[in-house]
Amino acid sequence: AQSVTQPDIHITVSEGASLELRCNYSYGATPYLFWYVQSPGQGLQLLLKYFSGDTLVQGIKGFEAEFKRSQSSFNLRKPSVHWSDAAEYFCAVSGGATNKLIFGTGTLLAVQP
Amino acid sequence: GAVVSQHPSWVICKSGTSVKIECRSLDFQATTMFWYRQFPKQSLMLMATSNEGSKATYEQGVEKDKFLINHASLTLSTLTVTSAHPEDSSFYICSVQKQGSSYNEQFFGPGTRLTVL
């Protein structure tokens, strides 16, 4: 069965520091992978996505993610975090016969001044 | 663009009443729409998948008679919470897939906060 694991429930970083949010997936075929961000009381905004090709994908707001098939991972990174990046981040997987998105449990990012 | 709207953004109702939430894709036709609910500090839980002109497919454990979904057109889906109770209080989010989308990308609405008193 498809599943997504985000091992870090809560992360705090200082403004200007680098960030990496972890995401591991379990899927039998080539997955479609997504990172979404959710601000409090808001819907989800797509940061980036991976379907095929170059395993390093660039997204909006300076985010990037790298697909590593050998590690079943799709970690999200940003070289320098801004206070406005404080939010909840969700990794999701889809593909194959289903058009559903399977979400991880989310990582809540706090940014210290 | 891929703009999805939801109405209302928040609603408060009395226990036993029904509440209708609308989800619209504003600038494209949506093959499929999804309805999720999200409890505080938790992830999204898929409730049902709806395709225009056909019955919705509900996830296991979701009561189809309580959560009525109507997908009347390629741009509009509605979720009606019937006989709402306090335990139905939650954040409801819809998402849509574009017609012709190959990679299952979903575009999300801003959500509807339902509070049942």
Which stretches of chain B drop beneath a pLDDT of 70?
Answer: 1, 102
Record the tokens describing residue B92, joined without a space: 């409801």
The whole-number pLDDT of residue A28 equals 74
Instruction: Give residue-wise pLDDT tens across range A40-56.
Output: 888 899 999 998 889 99
- B83 to A72, B36, B66: CA distances (angstroms): 43, 19, 7
Rounded CA-CA distance A10/A3 in Å is 20
pLDDT at site B2: 80
What local confidence, expressed as pLDDT, does residue B29 receive?
Answer: 85
Q: Is A36 on the interface with B (CB under 8 A)?
A: yes
In whole numbers, what is the pLDDT of chain A averaged over residues? 93
Structure tokens at B81: 């919470």
Asked if the Cβ–Cβ distance from A44 to B95 is below 8 Å, we say: yes
Residue A44 with chain B: CB contacts under 8 Å: 44, 93, 95, 108
- In chain A, what are the helix, strand and coil shares in percent, each to the nearest 5? 10, 55, 35
Q: The tokens 């985010």 sit on which residue?
A: A63
| Residues facing residue A67 across a β-bridge | A74
- How confident is the model over A58-74, as pLDDT tens digits? 999 999 999 999 999 99
In the block, tokens 């939430």 appear at: B21
pLDDT tens, residue by residue, A67-109: 999 999 999 999 999 999 999 999 999 876 678 899 999 999 9
Q: Which of B38, B43, B46, B59 to mutate to test the interface with A (most CBs of A within 10 A)?
A: B43
Phi-psi region of A53 (alpha: psi -120 to 50; beta: other; left: phi over 0): left
